[in-house]
Structure 1
Amino acid sequence: MEETTWAALTAALTVAGAIWTWIAFRRRGAANGLRALGFTLLPAAAWLTGTLRTVVEIGSAVTDWATGLVFDVRTWTGVGLAGLAVLLLVVSGFIRDRQLARGQAVGRTRKDGRTRKDDAGRDALPPTAPPGRGKPVIDDDLADIEAMLRKRGIE
């Protein structure tokens, strides 16, 4: 594009921003109006420093990349393969956890040689009460709430 085209684009963006700034000052107050004025001055600053052309070229490159991503069968095949790979990794993790749990359960057998189903995950769970005490551990902050519940017959 020629320099006059860039100047026209800058003028159009600045005029649109000026209208937005005026509306923001009238309806929303000084803070929002000043913010809008800051955004209004950005196209003019970008044109004067020569970065407006760079910003437009970057936007065009990103648009071309996104368009190629959306409409390219090869790219979507790659995305599908990546999704399948992640799915397989997650499923293999679940299968591995089940195999490890089954392996731990094999070590514990009853007198008749069968494994107990409830023993498989018992080591993984934290104890609910300290050994030797029949009461569960109570948080000091919740002790008064528990006392009130007991007083009302709720346990």
Structure 2
Amino acid sequence: MLTTTVCAALSAAGLAVAFLTAWRRRFVAATRIAALALVPVGLAMSGLVELFGEVGGAVASWASGLVLEPTVWAGFGVLALAVVLYVVARFAGGRSRSRAAADRPADRPADRPVGGSGPSRPAVGGGRGKGDAAAPDDDFSDIEAILKKHGI
């Protein structure tokens, strides 16, 4: 009952400020103030104020039990280990992919047909035009050609 009264008083004060702001012909600011002023009474009417109180009490009881229980601290240690392992795996995975791309030769033997006849590269993407002399792994050769064409 007391929380509803406090929320209603806060909303009434906010609406009074919004009215005074609108009196000075600052309607956009007055609308924003009125919107914020209606939040406390809306929270009280929907029952969310009591819900926040119960959640706060639950967090407080958990925090008070946190200090003396070794299993809780062991749980935090396990969570920290999980995060460290995940970060290490992401870092190692990124390095191995970039290292594999750097170690790969420009023309792999699997791309060449047996006997030396035919094109040395598969004709999947078609010709490159001006960028034919560039290495096949150079993904930026097309972009470089366009920038040179425009004088950049």
Q: TM-score normalized by structure 2?
A: 0.50
Q: Which has the higher contact order (CA 8 A, sep 6+)?
A: 2
